[in-house]
Amino acid sequence: MIRVGRWRRYSIRAWLTLLASAVMALLCSALAVFIVLVERHAAIDHRTDRLFALAVEMGVQVRQQAPDLAKAGPVPAVQVFNSTGDVVAATREMAGRPPMTNLRPDPDGFATIRTCDARAFPGQCMIVLAYPLHRSDGVWLINMAVPDVPWYVGPELLIPLAAGWLLLVGATAAGSYRIVGKTLEPVGAISRNLARITASDLGHRVPVPPYHDELRDLAETANRTLDRAQSAVDQQLRFAAEASHDLRSPLTAMRIRIEEALMDPRQADWPHVAGMVLESVERMQILVRDLLQLARLDAGVTRRREILDLTELVRRELDRRPVGVYVRHRLMTGMIVQGDRLDLTRLLNNLLDNAERHAESVITVLLTLDDGDAVLEVSDDGEGVPPAQREMIFKRFARLEASRARDAGGTGLGLPIARQIAQAHHGTLTLEDSPRGARFELRLPSCTTHDTTHDADHAHGEKARLGAASHVEHRTGGPLS
């Protein structure tokens, strides 16, 4: 573990340089070994051929007379044996030494052997050749030996190989270090630019390399992440500013009412002042409740989920609402979903409150099943929302001019909260096309297990008939139906 931790201290540049150098060193070593083996084999063959040529030349002399080998010739180690196996001639270095080898070649051939630390050559490696010679008095034998070729062949081969090995490995290390450094320059630039970014200054962006590679993808991903971070921070700043403004407004209103009353306490209508202050307090309470709900949703805090009958939940909330705008509904029975009862109730009430504020005369609520989703539609017959502003109404504190004129006390958080609750339940909340007014569509995954084909077809048929609204009962000033 200590060794691994020590190696991890090195940079990627050092690691890649070391890896490239090691690979080149292995390749050069393998090539050098191959060259040495080939050259050594060739050198051994050359020495063997030279020994054979000298043996043939000496055989011509031995056929005529016993040669005088006292003086060293081209081969310093020579022994000549007669037909009885006695040494009749030998070079000075071989005088008194035992036979080089016990090889007995075929009469018409010769034999070679490579031997080390033989009795005739203690501590040496030699190439020994045994050459038979035919004479009138029998078959004589000429033994010759030369030093074996060393493993490195010779300095004339070893020095160039070592120099080439060092040159190639060194060039690879230097080139790899430079190339990797050049390749990682964008990473350094990205790191330096990211280090300059602070929470108060998110305007910096990392440079994007000109080439389409992984580093470009990294830079573009980093910039997109910074864009999202800046957008989130800007949104939080706007949220804080708008929240503080909306909180300041009722506080200012309360202070003005109280200060006006205190200017002439005896003439002030204190019950009226208390009512005005209570309205401001209620507005602040609603705003704080919405802000806390958004904070909980933003933090991803979820309460315990349970299996709910969405049909009964919608019907119960419709029955609880005060008498007001005409409401008509068609609810498919047995629509089961999994979710948080309080959150889904809040979502439904936000949609109904929004529809009630904008409806001219009627609100329509429809619950159906579509492709495995529970679909709840809440429609009104008001002015509707222009297509270009359909997404804007889901932004926090966003209120259209028509909304401000109808309800100046709204917080602009009802629809954003409703959408976040839908998304927290793996659903969607959108504003869809409608012939008149606004039509909000909530989709939630359904857990309905019974055969809903007939019910779904019936619900879709009811939905179509609701467009005509010829037979749908509606009431005002009494219970909703």
pLDDT in tens, 323-346: 777 889 999 998 999 999 989 999
State the pLDDT at residue 465: 41
DSSP single-letter state for residue 269: -
Closest CA to 437 of 383, 376, 393, 365: 383
Residue, of 446 and 230, whose pLDDT is higher: 446
State the pLDDT at residue 137: 82
State the pLDDT at residue 462: 40
What per-residue string of b and e applies to 285-324 under the rule 16 or more CB within 10 Å gives b?
Answer: ebbeebbebbebbeeeeeeeeeebebbebbbebbeebeee
Confirm if 481 and 473 have CB atoms less than 8 A apart.
yes
Angstrom CA distances, 359 to 130, 210, 346, 352, stand at 121, 56, 20, 10
CA diameter of the chain: 163
When pLDDT is cut at 50, 70 and 90, the band that residue 173 belongs to is very high
Percent of the chain with pLDDT over 90: 28
Confirm if 397 and 245 have CB atoms less than 8 A apart.
no
Closest CA to 100 of 83, 113, 109: 113
Give this prediction's pTM.
0.50
Strands lying side by side in the sheet with 111-116 = 87-90, 77-81, 138-147, 125-135, 111-116
When pLDDT is cut at 50, 70 and 90, the band that residue 162 belongs to is very high
Residue, of 403 and 453, whose pLDDT is higher: 403
What the chain holds in terms of domains, given with CATH numbers, is 13-147 (3.30.450), 203-299 (1.10.287.130), 306-468 (3.30.565.10)
How many Cβ atoms are within 10 Å of 147's Cβ, its own excluded? 13
When pLDDT is cut at 50, 70 and 90, the band that residue 287 belongs to is confident
Angstrom CA distances, 98 to 84, 90, 104, 119, 142, stand at 15, 11, 15, 7, 14
Give me the sign of the Cα torsion angle 38, 44, 50, 56: negative
List all residues 6 or more positions away from 260 whose beta carbon is below 8 Å from its beta carbon: 268
Token pair recorded at residue 147: 């030093």
When pLDDT is cut at 50, 70 and 90, the band that residue 401 belongs to is low
State the pLDDT at residue 399: 66
Mean pLDDT of 253-269: 86
pLDDT in tens, 360-399: 889 999 999 998 899 999 999 888 888 888 888 888 777 6
State the pLDDT at residue 29: 96
When pLDDT is cut at 50, 70 and 90, the band that residue 161 belongs to is very high
Token pair recorded at residue 34: 């191959």
Closest CA to 169 of 30, 36, 38: 30
Token pair 């060739």 in the structure block, residue = 42
Query: Mean pLDDT in the chain?
Result: 81
State the pLDDT at residue 175: 94
